[in-house]
A and B are shown apart, each in its own frame.
Chain A
């Protein structure tokens, strides 16, 4: 089977690097190759394999990271938003350092009809758990899990979210 390829997009290299390392350590039956990018569009010179999942990483401590993600979203093909995009917000644990309100990312995820995950990536155990979760998500999005597609998963996940999301 071809490799599964997630792309982690965000301004903070150190966090992306750590998350990528954690994902590579997680259990994955398929071969894994992780792309790290600061923003979209990606430089087009490279011969790139198909990307199965895009995770936009926003650091709630940095307005720059949110801004960069918002600008990147405009460059993404609409087809990705059928279950192949996820948002990951980090830094919620340190409330006093947050310059972005939680609701801002909630609204962003809602606007793009994609799941939002919270995880403090600086904490190793949380990061490892999140990495494992992302790998599972990734395998489904790549079509490596029979009977479940990315779109199925998306509707399943939406059901389990806070029902008042529609009211935002």
Chain B
């Protein structure tokens, strides 16, 4: 009888039967020691990951995960307290010999459902001028990506999940040469393979960012990667801006139009006892606003930030500040639950003059919400 070593047992369990590939080089403490018993830290990771899921989404997410069978799910009493439900689910995971990779996939699915909990940055890659345009091979990309990270850091957990439009969600748990990966602070990358764009969730472990950029660039056969001045919680809005899809009607999460309707709907007031004196001006404002912002719902951003480094200019001669050679530094930040819709409603509401400053209206066109303004 051939006796398999622990490592071989672990490897054989990683054969993908599900539509994801996985690579992991975790130190033994995150594996399992016997066939039946799950490691404590792994069990705890499962417990915490499942506990995060709101009860209203539990069935949907578990079904998407597709790791526990229908029969198994039916054995769980979902009317208990949540703590008990989670305990039962973790036991089921143990029965199925769930591995770290299975936990990582559940984490990815949770994040896909709750993408607004992260703040996303946008990166743009470019090829060198002489490069051939190779056909993209997803499997080759994944394998190359994980190899680069593994070579650099011995301890890292990399998991993939394919998504729509030829995109892939990548989850990375960072470790170091000597420390096992921190599964509770992973970074996420969403890469659209037919485009040079990738979206990353800002990880607190910023020191790994250059490595991540390098891995992405090399694995996708690009030459260079640049961080765009664009950031938001709303991944779909970032996509719409970057792929220039915002000027068609598209789905936004929680499209808030009530303020807009309130102010733009004023003209529809039918009461003939109210006379608007400035009709011509109001119509002009409506027209200008529509020319600039269009009829479609705006992509959703939460803020725009302008960093000014300009010299002080004054009409008064001999003012103290006018003699300053150094530029004044100033930061102006606009925040809103839905910045672009709010900007769109400013002029019709009478709070600002129309047309608005091009610095505000150029945001979706330029794909930026961070600006640096210097003297020319």
Are the chains A and B members of one assembly? yes
Asked if B266 CB lies within 8 Å of chain A CBs, one says yes
Residues from chain A with a CB closer than 8 A to the CB of B278 are 36-39, 43
CB closest chain-A residue, reference B351: A62
Asked if A136 CB lies within 8 Å of chain B CBs, one says no
Asked if B269 CB lies within 8 Å of chain A CBs, one says yes
Contact A33 B266 (CB under 8 A): no
Within 8 A of B (CB), among A20-49: 20-21, 24, 32-39, 42-43, 46
Whether A14 touches B352, Cβ cut-off 8 Å, given contacts A24-B271, A37-B278, A42-B277, is no
Within 8 A of B (CB), among A88-143: none
Asked if B282 CB lies within 8 Å of chain A CBs, one says yes
Contact A14 B262 (CB under 8 A): yes
Whether A13 touches B352, Cβ cut-off 8 Å, given contacts A21-B271, A36-B277, A38-B277, is no
Contact A11 B273 (CB under 8 A): no
Q: Give Cα A21 to B274, complex, Å.
A: 8
Contact A20 B277 (CB under 8 A): no
Residues from chain A with a CB closer than 8 A to the CB of B273 are 24, 32-34
Within 8 A of A (CB), among B342-358: 348-352
Asked if A152 CB lies within 8 Å of chain B CBs, one says no
Whether A11 touches B274, Cβ cut-off 8 Å, given contacts A17-B266, A17-B269, A38-B281, is no
Which of B269, B274, B275, B349 is within 8 Å of A12, CB to CB?
A: B349
Asked if A151 CB lies within 8 Å of chain B CBs, one says no
Asked if A64 CB lies within 8 Å of chain B CBs, one says yes
Asked if B330 CB lies within 8 Å of chain A CBs, one says no
Contact B351 A36 (CB under 8 A): no
Contact B350 A20 (CB under 8 A): no
Contact B274 A13 (CB under 8 A): no
Q: Give Cα A20 to B272, complex, Å.
A: 12
Within 8 A of A (CB), among B248-280: 262-263, 266, 269, 271, 273-278, 280
Residues from chain A with a CB closer than 8 A to the CB of B281 are 38
Contact B271 A43 (CB under 8 A): no
Q: Give Cα A12 to B350, complex, Å.
A: 5
Residues from chain A with a CB closer than 8 A to the CB of B276 are 36-37
Contact B269 A64 (CB under 8 A): no
Residues from chain B with a CB closer than 8 A to the CB of A13 are 263, 266, 282, 348-350
Q: Give Cα A32 to B273, complex, Å.
A: 7
Give the Cβ gap from B265 to chain A, nearest Cβ, in Å. 10
Contact B274 A20 (CB under 8 A): yes
Give the Cβ gap from B268 to chain A, nearest Cβ, in Å. 11
Whether A37 touches B348, Cβ cut-off 8 Å, given contacts A13-B263, A13-B282, is no
Residues from chain B with a CB closer than 8 A to the CB of A46 are 277
Give the Cβ gap from A90 to chain B, nearest Cβ, in Å. 13
Q: Give Cα A26 to B174, complex, Å.
A: 67
Q: Give Cα A32 to B350, complex, Å.
A: 25
Residues from chain A with a CB closer than 8 A to the CB of B348 are 13
Contact A12 B280 (CB under 8 A): no
Whether A33 touches B280, Cβ cut-off 8 Å, given contacts A11-B351, A13-B349, A17-B266, is no
Contact B271 A35 (CB under 8 A): no
Proximity bits, B168-198, A CB within 8 Å = 1, else 0: 0000000000000000000000000000000
Contact A24 B274 (CB under 8 A): yes
Contact A34 B274 (CB under 8 A): yes
Specify which of A7, A42, A43, A65 lies most central, judged by the most chain B CB atoms within 10 Å of its CB.
A43
Residues from chain B with a CB closer than 8 A to the CB of A32 are 273
Residues of A within 8 A of B (CB): 7, 10-14, 17, 20-21, 24, 32-39, 42-43, 46, 62, 64-65
* Besides the known contacts A35-B275, A42-B277, A64-B351, 5 further A-B residue pairs in the complex with CB atoms under 8 A apart: A10-B350, A11-B351, A13-B263, A17-B266, A39-B278
A-B pairs, top 9 by smallest CB distance, nearest first, are A37-B277, A11-B350, A38-B278, A12-B350, A20-B274, A35-B275, A34-B274, A13-B350, A33-B273
Q: What are 7 A-B pairs at a CB distance below 8 A?
A: A13-B263, A13-B350, A17-B269, A20-B274, A21-B271, A38-B277, A65-B350
